[in-house]
Structure 1
Amino acid sequence: MEFTFEPCKATQTDQALQNCAFLNTSDYKICCDKVQTVPLYLQANGIVMLCQPLPEVKAGYIMLNAQLRTHARISLISKAAFMAFISSQQNYLESVQFTVAPKKTLTNIDSDELFNIVKQSFNNRYFYPGAIYYTDYQGTTLEMSPKQEGILNSFTQISFSPAPAAKKLILSGSHVDGTTVGQSALSDAFKKMAKSEIEGGDQSENEIDIQSIGIGGLNAQFTQIFRRAFVSRMFPPHLVRKYDLQHVRGILLFGPPGTGKTLIARKIGQLLNTKEPKIVSGPEILDMYVGNSEANIRKLFADAEKDWKELGDESELHLIVMDELDAICKQRGSRGDSTGTYDSIVNQLLAKMDGVDSLGNILVVGMTNRKDLIDSALLRPGRFEVHVEIHLPDLQGRHQILLIHTKTLNDNEALGVDVDLLDIAGRAQNFSGSEIAGLVRSAQSFAMSRVVSGQLLIQGKNAEPTAFTVTQADFVRALGEVHAGFGRCDPSLFEQIQQFNFLPLTASAQILETIQQKITASQNAHIHLSTLILTSFAPGTGKSSILAQLCKETKIEFIKFISADSLIRQASTEQQRAAIIAQAFDDANRVPEALIVLDGIEQIVQFAPSGMRYSNVILQTILPLLKNPRNGRVFVLASTNCMAGMSDLGVLDCFINRLSVGTMDLPSMQEVVREWCMAKNLIFQGNLQQFQGFLKRQEAGIEISLNQLLFALEYARGSSEGANLIAEDLEKQLDDTGI
């Protein structure tokens, strides 16, 4: 509903101080009758204003003070169009904070008296943040600027704080805004958490619903950040000074890649009503010219320093986010460069965060995957004081992340009714947040591919993809395509380890059962570190194949299979290989359960019996890791052919459980041949019980290892014709191999 009036100025000061529009009494009645609401609100150029009747106003005119005309962009030289505005409950303010600046010199204001004045003179007014409104206080005109938008009524809570320009103004009474540095920057969610912490409320009942802002599984970490970094900012300045409260200036987020460190920092920046956060990656600080890297650090803090000097405690909170912090803040003296640039960067950051002229209006959020590399001085209180480890999400966290990433699909009815996200979360064990997002994308690709392929068959080249539905089967297929970085090894690795993809039950069943019983017993006993080693006096007895088979059958989701072969392929120096082993144990301690396999531990430590030669670097890395359990539950399985040498090096002493894997006797060899022929769909041509190839070696005391027997069987298979394995061919291969 539109009305047209000709604007005019307010003729008296008290009219201007009413902060509303005035209409002729008859015009006001006409508008109220048409709009059917009281009080009457009109809107011009998007600005809502309260209207009241005033007989002195001419008919067809609307009286506006200078502030309203400026804010609504209304000119006095032409008529203006106004639309009726119907207020709702959402438009009314629960609370509002005003900054106060007297137009004349005034040093003291009683906030309780000002509260009564504002309640009376500003009732039902529609306020806009940053706009200027006027009121009279003891004969002095005050400029009032609200921080919230909406309508003030008798139920609105009101508080006041000095405007930045009114540096000498002192407010007293019970309606002084408790804002100190950064509190005005807190969103309602932040304030709710901080209030519950101050009042000692039940934290579990007051956790922020971070799932609504796109973060899942990190409620505990967010709660810790709020308690450590934001609760102190809720106290008023006089209490901060009285108790000498020091605000936290730095938060360090650390943990495995893809767990949500950068996402948390980004969301903190969005939730804070501050100036635009400064987000920088560590390598971006570096510059080719000497001194410019340190200058880049100073630029990050320049705006905060300027505001702190000008406004002091009234300064806004400045958020600085530094990703990949370990790239520029390594331990001083650890680099061999001659310029000392990296050390200077650390020194500059130390000085800015907690130097002689420390700032109280900054919050620096650092992120790293390698907390151990960062200079220790940065980690002490006063710098990056709060250390928050971002773990891999648990079952509930994975479920929350799946709900977040499938919300759009669900809202658009593109998520199948058969999809069980809780089941998918259970299968996606040890998945990080980014890997779960990749899992959803993979499932979507299967669904979209199904639709596109079907339409191409029907419509040909003119096919245009339409809606698709992601089903449970799509997620199951995606689980086979997307693998967790902290998950199982590539299954093809185990196939390569097992000779000819065959492991006879005769040689392995009892040992596999014993190992599994040991693991189960350790799980039930809540043992943090359980160790077991398979020993033998000769190679080729099937130890590696047994360990590979266990990795395929176990329900433990995190598996690291380390062998001398894999280390050679990944690293060329002893230090690098030792680092790979240490990293495997470090990763294992990040998950609830982990299995580490050290296949051929004597080869891993580069042991040579002649002269007792070995790699002391690798040995001194492995020994402490096998003796000192940390968080989590780690099962270490190893194998060796050199018991005496490993005993001399102290390796065997680290393994609580030992199982011996020996060569096979005659019945075992006969059973292996039967199993192998059955697996390969072959028929053994001859009497296995009277097979001379085994009998004469048994009489001569010659032992045959599993590896040797499997090679002989494969060679004999190649010599035989059809689906038969001829006994003479097998005996010939045993003779040719020198067994």
Structure 2
Amino acid sequence: MPIFKATKCPSDDLSLSNCAIVSPKDFTKDVKHVVIHTGPGRKYIFTIRVDNSIKQGYVGFNLPQRKWAVLSINQEIDVEPFRFEAQRQYLSSITIEADFLQKKNTTTDPYDTEKMALEFVMCFPNMAFTVGQELAFSFRDKKMLSLTIKEVEAIDINAVQAGMPAKPLKVECGQIMPNTFVLFEKAENSSLNLIGKAKAKMQHQSIINPDWDFQKMGIGGLDNEFNAIFRRAFASRVFPPEITEQLGVRHCKGILLFGPPGTGKTLMARQIGTMLNAREPIIVNGPQILDKYVGESEANVRKLFAPAEEEEKRMGPNSGLHIIILDEIDAICKARGSVAGASGVHDTVVNQLLSKIDGVDQLNNILVIGMTNRKDMIDDALLRPGRLEVQMEIGLPAEDGRVQILKIHTAKMRENDKLAADVDLFELAQITKNFSGAEIEGLVRAATSTALNRLVKASSKVEVDPNAIEKIKISREDFLNAFQNDIKPAFGMAEEQFERYVANGIINWGEPVRSILEDGDLLISQGKAGESGGLVTALLAGPPNSGKTALAARIAMSSDFPFLKFCSPEDMIGFMDTAKCQMIKKVFDDAYRSQLSVIVVDNVERLLDYGPIGPRYSNLVLQALLVLLKKEPPKGRRLLVLATTSRKDVLGELEMLSAFQTVLQVSNISTSEQLLSVLEYLDAFSSKDLDFISRKTDKKRMWIGIKKLLGLIDMAKQTEEAYRIPKFLSKLEEEGGLEMS
């Protein structure tokens, strides 16, 4: 074992490095740390720095180091190279006791522990620290501080490699990393004034903790999304820079969270920033970037990356992680060339953002998290690997996710015994199909408001029951009232529209109707099973007024799918072709966000603007429908499309029939028995009148739609009783529904 002599540090700058200073002739470049033996059972680990001012055979120590290791000048010591054990080498956290180095030279100025922690990591990259070690620390030209290492914890690399929760390990010594959590404590009886979040003892996580408690984070139903983001974006950051450099790993620098409004994108991004032991996240809304002055928008983008650039130049691969969160990123990153006008501001902002994330002088210490409801509007260059490469859809929560969200938002009620015993969160999760997280939160608020309203006395003045706090309980009835009257999901069932079409119920007047309903049940089963794919399409074709829309609505409602939507020409009156295509596409896009969806495309020939005189039709809408009717929904989603038409022949000429997997023929009423079934079901006439109608229509040719027949019955009811039946039969003959001869 080589024998060296202890000496003083050659300069103040080297003293503040808190390294042991050695001669370049004594150690090779690959030696980073040494262990010094000063006696039996007494060994101390130091990070070394090479300097030509130290004589060969000597090791330079500053005063705190000599005090810690009990060293005297010219004392002989045994020195040998040291390497850490891989699984206990890298520190996840370090707790440091601080005091003034010179007790006579103190101040009451505040010391910001957060800034101290950042400075500490920058000053001592990859340095070895041991419990009990003393060192000197100069913080921003303030009074010199004396630091003592109180506690260190290392991350279990083996657990991370095995995909297990990375629980911190208590160790005696380890190497600091860029994302090591640094905590400062004031020494006993010290007058040091510490402020900031890194002050005093507090609960903390390791560098990146994959074992997150989602409910404590206030997020429910996104477990799989969090795990996928961790695997893609953060797993490589657990390992120290030298390992990732050896593997040639480039960290993920961008995440895009997209999905419907209210599903938790912004909340997830904020929690990602706070759960990591990284620099304080920079959070900015996309429109805040834009500025009316030329060049200011691009300058605002550069300002976001300035702290990361400065630290990257100073520390290189040892720089900590800087998180930039861009909400509503579609406002500034629209596809280049898509925005009208000559200024081109949006294009230059996109160019500036691309150059910062993945340009010539690309940064490796950043993570950009973008959020949008409109992924289709974002420039394609931002979505390629190396930029916003992790693209995660934050969709509507499934039933188990809705249970998690309900538990989060009712946690305070349950803790304080304000939730009634009859409230079943699993029942609420079942009925809140297609509710987003924000809508579920709104449901809980609405239920609370209903309960509070019971305790308000509305007399000449508003009074509150003095015993309200003790009496209030949020009951099941409050939640159901909020569900029925207050909160409706944006991507839910269009109940009012569907109920309007089946207001009179479905009259099962014969075999043609039974056959359609049976085929409808088979379509629903096929849509749920989805063995041949996630898309099922069917066309209900028949003469006008035959009840095609009502039958399609009945099939859709009996499916019990959470998403039901009409795509009807009545919603697009006056629309240009492009606007109509966008409206139709939006209906399908909304349907793709639900696990199970039904779309009723009503009156297809009217959607196509078909006219028999000319003839003319919209080829743009036709092509859009052909594409959407053959487009498979995303993986794991099921879509049933029911279309109706009165001109099957026209759709055949337009080669549109091939877009449907099956065609169901809807028939008119054609026999006396079918007519009497309708009249008996509606109880429209007396038994005597029904016998008369039966005799008059027996064995007569008939062809009338159910919708027109219902109109004739209503008209007959308004006629005087003596003329009611003759009026009904004459109108039936006039409308072409009966041949009396």
- TM-score, structure 2 normalization: 0.73
Match of 1:305 among 300, 305, 309: 309
User: Which residue matches 2:591?
Assistant: 588
Pairwise CA distance, 1:269: 2.4
Work out the CA distance in 2 between the residues paired with 1:64 and 1:624.
73
| Structure-2 change in CA distance of 1:395 and 1:725 (3 Å) | farther
Counterpart amino acid of 2:726?
A: E
* Secondary structure in structure 1 of the residue aligned to 2:593: coil
Q: Tell me whether 1:320 sits opposite 2:333 in the alignment.
A: no
Match of 2:417 among 413, 416, 420: 413
User: Which residue matches 2:178?
Assistant: 180
Pairwise CA distance, 1:415: 0.8
Work out the CA distance in 1 between the residues paired with 2:524 and 2:122.
72
User: Which residue matches 2:673?
Assistant: 667
Work out the CA distance in 1 between the residues paired with 2:264 and 2:122.
43
User: Which residue matches 2:52?
Assistant: none
User: Which residue matches 2:132?
Assistant: 119
Structure 2: runs of 5 or more not aligned: 1-62, 70-95, 111-116, 156-170, 184-197
Pairwise CA distance, 1:733: 4.5
User: Which residue matches 1:637?
Assistant: 642
User: Which residue matches 2:567?
Assistant: 562
Work out the CA distance in 2 between the residues paired with 1:274 and 1:120.
25
* Secondary structure in structure 2 of the residue aligned to 1:212: coil
Match of 2:481 among 477, 481, 487: 477
| Structure-2 change in CA distance of 1:601 and 1:144 (3 Å) | same
Work out the CA distance in 2 between the residues paired with 1:300 and 1:456.
53
Counterpart amino acid of 1:386?
A: V
Pairwise CA distance, 1:157: 4.3
User: Which residue matches 2:536?
Assistant: 530
Counterpart amino acid of 2:576?
A: T
- Deviation readout 1:161-211 (Å, 9 max, x if unpaired): xxxxxxxxxxxx9955251368879995564646xxxxxxxxxxxx42221
- Deviation readout 1:93-143 (Å, 9 max, x if unpaired): xxx9994899xxxx99984xx63xx53779xxxx99989999xxxxxx996
Listed as ranges, the matches of 1:628-707 within 5 Å are 628-631=631-634, 632-664=637-669, 665-677=671-683, 683-684=685-686, 686-691=688-693, 695=697, 699=700, 701-707=701-707
Q: Is the 8 A contact 2:101 2:145 kept in 1?
A: no
Q: Tell me whether 1:515 sits opposite 2:515 in the alignment.
A: no
User: Which residue matches 2:268?
Assistant: 264
Work out the CA distance in 2 between the residues paired with 1:280 and 1:629.
36
Match of 1:605 among 605, 608, 611: 608
Pairwise CA distance, 1:717: 1.7
Counterpart amino acid of 1:561?
A: F
User: Which residue matches 2:498?
Assistant: 494
Work out the CA distance in 1 between the residues paired with 2:598 and 2:154.
60
Counterpart amino acid of 1:718?
A: Q
* Secondary structure in structure 1 of the residue aligned to 2:251: coil
Match of 1:366 among 341, 346, 370: 370
Q: Is the 8 A contact 2:395 2:593 kept in 1?
A: yes
- Deviation readout 1:413-432 (Å, 9 max, x if unpaired): 11111211011111111211
| Structure-2 change in CA distance of 1:725 and 1:522 (3 Å) | farther
User: Which residue matches 2:508?
Assistant: 505
* Secondary structure in structure 1 of the residue aligned to 2:525: helix
User: Which residue matches 2:712?
Assistant: 712
Work out the CA distance in 1 between the residues paired with 2:227 and 2:258.
16
Pairwise CA distance, 1:213: 1.1
Q: Tell me whether 1:616 sits opposite 2:656 in the alignment.
A: no
Q: Which has the higher helix share?
A: 1
Match of 2:248 among 234, 237, 244: 244
Work out the CA distance in 2 between the residues paired with 1:720 and 1:451.
55
- Deviation readout 1:468-493 (Å, 9 max, x if unpaired): 2111222222222322222111x221
Listed as ranges, the matches of 1:94-113 within 5 Å are 99=120, 111=128
User: Which residue matches 1:282?
Assistant: 286
Pairwise CA distance, 1:403: 0.5
Q: Is the 8 A contact 2:97 2:147 kept in 1?
A: no
Listed as ranges, the matches of 1:187-226 within 5 Å are 189=205, 191=207, 193=209, 207-226=211-230
Work out the CA distance in 2 between the residues paired with 1:129 and 1:658.
81
User: Which residue matches 1:466?
Assistant: 468
Work out the CA distance in 1 between the residues paired with 2:238 and 2:443.
41
Pairwise CA distance, 1:341: 1.4
| Structure-2 change in CA distance of 1:706 and 1:109 (3 Å) | closer
User: Which residue matches 1:66?
Assistant: 102
- Deviation readout 1:558-605 (Å, 9 max, x if unpaired): 11111111222xx61111111121222222222211111111111112
- Deviation readout 1:499-539 (Å, 9 max, x if unpaired): x6353222644422321123214423534111111111x20
Work out the CA distance in 2 between the residues paired with 1:15 and 1:328.
53
| Structure-2 change in CA distance of 1:395 and 1:659 (3 Å) | same
Q: Is the 8 A contact 2:125 2:177 kept in 1?
A: no
Identity %: 36
| Structure-2 change in CA distance of 1:305 and 1:334 (3 Å) | same
Counterpart amino acid of 2:681?
A: E
Q: Tell me whether 1:340 sits opposite 2:349 in the alignment.
A: no
| Structure-2 change in CA distance of 1:628 and 1:190 (3 Å) | farther
Counterpart amino acid of 1:719?
A: T
Q: Is the 8 A contact 2:262 2:439 kept in 1?
A: yes
Q: Is the 8 A contact 1:532 1:657 kept in 2?
A: yes
Listed as ranges, the matches of 1:436-451 within 5 Å are 436-451=440-455
Counterpart amino acid of 1:323?
A: D
Work out the CA distance in 1 between the residues paired with 2:559 and 2:442.
25
- Deviation readout 1:283-341 (Å, 9 max, x if unpaired): 22222222222122112222222333334344443221111111221221223321211
Work out the CA distance in 1 between the residues paired with 2:731 and 2:104.
103
- TM-score, structure 1 normalization: 0.73
Work out the CA distance in 2 between the residues paired with 1:451 and 1:128.
61
| Structure-2 change in CA distance of 1:462 and 1:523 (3 Å) | closer
Work out the CA distance in 1 between the residues paired with 2:101 and 2:265.
51
Q: Is the 8 A contact 1:269 1:277 kept in 2?
A: yes
| Structure-2 change in CA distance of 1:737 and 1:178 (3 Å) | same
Q: Is the 8 A contact 2:703 2:736 kept in 1?
A: no
Moved more, 238-247 or 455-464: 455-464
Work out the CA distance in 2 between the residues paired with 1:640 and 1:158.
69
| Structure-2 change in CA distance of 1:319 and 1:473 (3 Å) | same
Work out the CA distance in 2 between the residues paired with 1:108 and 1:713.
89
Pairwise CA distance, 1:249: 1.5
Q: Tell me whether 1:541 sits opposite 2:546 in the alignment.
A: yes
| Structure-2 change in CA distance of 1:67 and 1:657 (3 Å) | farther
Counterpart amino acid of 2:549?
A: S
* Secondary structure in structure 2 of the residue aligned to 1:505: coil
User: Which residue matches 2:34?
Assistant: none
| Structure-2 change in CA distance of 1:464 and 1:606 (3 Å) | farther
| Alpha-carbon RMSD | 4.0
Pairwise CA distance, 1:390: 1.0
Counterpart amino acid of 1:666?
A: S
* Secondary structure in structure 2 of the residue aligned to 1:691: helix
Work out the CA distance in 1 between the residues paired with 2:430 and 2:137.
49
User: Which residue matches 1:91?
Assistant: none
Work out the CA distance in 2 between the residues paired with 1:230 and 1:529.
36
Q: Is the 8 A contact 2:578 2:620 kept in 1?
A: yes
* Secondary structure in structure 1 of the residue aligned to 2:509: helix
Counterpart amino acid of 1:695?
A: T
Work out the CA distance in 1 between the residues paired with 2:180 and 2:231.
14
| Structure-2 change in CA distance of 1:462 and 1:530 (3 Å) | closer
Pairwise CA distance, 1:684: 2.7
Listed as ranges, the matches of 1:83-162 within 5 Å are 99=120, 111=128, 115=130, 118-119=131-132, 144=147, 152=151, 156-157=152-153
Structure 1: runs of 5 or more not aligned: 1-12, 20-47, 51-62, 75-95, 135-140, 160-172, 195-206
Moved more, 627-636 or 712-721: 712-721
Counterpart amino acid of 2:656?
A: V
Counterpart amino acid of 1:524?
A: A
Q: Tell me whether 1:379 sits opposite 2:377 in the alignment.
A: no
